[in-house]
Amino acid sequence: MTRIGFIGLGMMGRPMAHLLHAAGLSLVVRDANPDAAAGFAAEHAGVAIAQDAAAFAGCDAVITMLPNSDIVDAVVRELAPHLRSGACVIEMSSADPVRTCALAALLAERSVALIDAPVSGGVKKAVNGTLAIMVGGDAAVFARHRPLLERMGQAITHVGPVGAGHALKALNNYVSAAALIATAEAIHAGTAFGIDPATIVDVINASTGKNNTTENKAHQFMLNGAFNSGFSLLLQAKDVGIAAALGESLQVPMALAQQVSAMTSEASRRLGAGADHTELYRFVAPA
């Protein structure tokens, strides 16, 4: 593989595309914000800017890193008529697994493969190329594209058929959101009792309640009021909603997921579209 398309140069996509360019791959890029694509091309020699979907016709693979399933659907359906037989779409957004399966079927009619390869680890791991990547799709297609994924991530796991990557990403983000809410509530309750918030976090980190929020978010983004981790509350609410809906569609009771989905959605509505997900700490604070 020498020519790669990359669509979506946001906070995660830009550093991921940068790593592919640094690996010597020829890139064709596109973003809904023309300035983002132009800025990336200006800083990366040899990068081509796609003016339309036809510009990806010669790509061996096209990576999409987009905000939600509606945008993913629109982009992939626009791409489909232009991709060559044998090409592959690598869908790395957080998306609805059911809709992912429908896109895979659409592309298969044109002899184009699709693997879903959402990521976990945030902007920091996107920058240093250590993302966790969970991949759904045909095992042979995954094996063929693994070297490309290894340019962007470290813990790369084939988790099942098409859609399985997106399903597991949503479930992971549900677990993460539940832990964040539980941590925030515990800090507020402990503080009300008279315990120093920093001490609460430190003791939990030395105890069985330790989790990603206590280790990587509480001191860094919550207690200091920074609330700038780089992952939006709106996207977290979207992912938790996917997880809750998945459980419901599979007739698997997920009462806590439904509650976490309701809380994150309400928090996003109240705090606004630009809120960081760590601002859940403010949302659950006592009045």
Catalytic residue set = 169
Exposed e or buried b for every residue in 17-42, given b needs 16+ CB within 10 A?
Answer: bbbbbeeebbbbbbbeeeebbeebbe
3-state DSSP of the chain: CCEEEEECCCCCHHHHHHHHHHCCCEEEEECCCHHHHHHHHHHCCCCEECCCHHHHCCCCEEEECCCCHHHHHHHHHHHHHHCCCCCEEEECCCCCHHHHHHHHHHHHCCCCEEEECCEECHHHHHHHCCEEEEEECCHHHHHHHHHHHCCCEEEEEEEECCCHHHHHHHHHHHHHHHHHHHHHHHHHHHHHHCCCHHHHHHHHHCCCCCCHHHHHCHHHHHCCCCCCCCCEHHHHHHHHHHHHHHHHHCCCCCHHHHHHHHHHHHHHHHHCCCCEHHHHHHHCCCC
Nearest residue to 137 (alpha-carbon basis) of 88, 181, 182: 88
